[in-house]
Structure 1
Amino acid sequence: MHRPSRTASFVLGGLAAATLVTGTAAIAADADALLKAPLQGSILSDPPLFGATRGGAPWQIGTSEAKLELDGTVKVTIAGLLIPGVGVGQVRNVTATVACNGERVATTAAVPLSAAGNAQIKDDVTLPVRCLAPAVLINPNGNANVYIAATGH
Structure 2
Amino acid sequence: MESRKHDYKNRTLAAARLRKELEMLSDKVKKLMNFGPHFHICDVSEITEDHIHLESWNHDIKKEEFVEIARLIEKDGYDIEGFELIEIPHPEVFCFANYEKEEYFDVIKLNGKWQFSYLGYAKGDGNSKTLANFPVTSIAEAVEKYLESW
Higher helix share: 2
Tell me the TM-score range normalised by the shorter chain.
Answer: under 0.3
TM-score scaled by length of structure 2: 0.27
Larger Rg: 1
